C-alpha cells in the first residue's frame, strides 16, 4: 500500500475510534512533521528558544487532542502546518509581551514563483497580515498558508482546496503580492519598504 494511502487509512481508522492506529501513524509521519517544523523555523533567529523537535511534539499533542474529522493525508499535514504556525505565533507573542517588543522572532517569506525579492519580516506582522487576508479572501489565505507554511506543491493544494491548479497558482501569486504590499506598509516600520 503506498504510504499516502496508508496514512489516510490510519487517519480514518483513528477517527473511527481505533486508538492503535494512532501508534502506527506517528512513525509514518514523524520525519515529514520534522521537515515541516524545520521549514517553519527556517527564518527564526539562531537563539530561538523553541526547537523544531519541540515544535513537532507540541503540535502532535494538540493534533491528537483536537476533534478533527480527518479526511486524508493532505488534510492532516495542512492541519499540522497551521498548528505549527499558531504555536510559533503564540510563542512570539509571549516573548513580545515579556520583552515589550525587543527580540521579536524573524521569519522570511520566500516565493519561488514571485519575481519580487523575499522580505525579512516579523512573524507577528505576518500573522496579522494573513488574518486580514483571510477576512478578505479565505481561499487565497489558505492557499498561501499551505504553500509557504505547509510546504505543499500546487497539485496538493488544488486537491485540498478543491480548485484547479491554475486557480491555486493565481491565488498564491495574488495573495503573496497582497501580503508583501501589506507588510511593506507596516506602521511600526519593522518591514522594509
The string of DSSP letters for 120-131 reads: EEEHHHHHHHHH
Amino acid 98: pLDDT:
57
Residue with cell 494538540: 62
Ordered domains of the chain (ranges, CATH): 1-101 (1.10.1740), 105-193 (1.10.10)
Q: In terms of Cα–Cα distance, which of 90, 100, 64 is closest to 79?
A: 64
Q: What is the pLDDT of residues 175-187, one digit of tens each?
A: 988 988 888 865 5
Tens of pLDDT along 131-144?
899 999 999 998 98
The whole-angstrom separation of Cα 101 and Cα 40 is 21
Q: Quote the CA–CA distance of 145 and 172 in Å, as a whole number.
A: 9
The whole-model pTM stands at: 0.60
Q: What is the pLDDT of residue 169?
A: 92
Q: What average pLDDT does this structure show over 31-57? A: 82
Predicted confidence at residue 192, as pLDDT, reads 41
Beta strands in the chain (DSSP E): 106-109, 119-122
Amino acid at each position: 500500500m503506498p504510504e499516502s494511502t496508508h496514512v489516510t487509512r490510519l487517519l480514518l481508522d483513528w477517527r473511527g475510534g481505533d486508538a492503535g492506529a494512532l501508534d502506527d501513524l506517528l512513525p509514518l509521519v514523524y520525519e515529514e512533521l520534522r521537515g515541516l517544523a524545520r521549514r517553519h523555523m527556517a527564518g527564526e533567529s539562531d537563539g530561538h528558544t523553541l526547537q523544531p523537535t519541540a515544535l513537532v511534539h507540541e503540535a502532535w499533542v494538540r493534533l491528537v487532542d483536537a476533534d478533527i474529522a480527518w479526511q486524508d493525508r493532505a488534510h492532516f499535514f495542512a492541519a499540522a502546518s497551521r498548528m505549527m504556525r499558531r504555536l510559533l505565533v503564540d510563542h512570539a507573542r509571549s516573548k513580545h509581551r515579556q520583552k515589550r517588543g525587543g527580540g521579536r522572532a524573524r521569519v522570511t517569506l520566500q516565493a519561488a514563483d514571485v519575481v519580487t525579492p523575499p522580505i525579512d519580516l516579523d512573524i507577528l506582522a505576518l500573522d496579522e497580515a494573513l488574518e486580514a487576508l483571510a477576512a478578505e479572501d479565505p481561499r487565497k489565505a489558505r492557499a498561501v498558508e499551505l504553500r509557504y507554511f505547509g510546504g505543499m506543491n500546487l497539485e496538493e493544494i488544488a486537491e485540498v482546496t478543491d480548485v484547479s491548479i491554475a486557480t491555486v497558482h493565481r491565488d498564491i501569486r495574488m495573495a503573496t503580492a497582497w501580503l508583501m504590499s501589506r507588510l511593506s506598509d507596516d506602521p511600526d516600520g519593522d518591514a522594509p519598504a
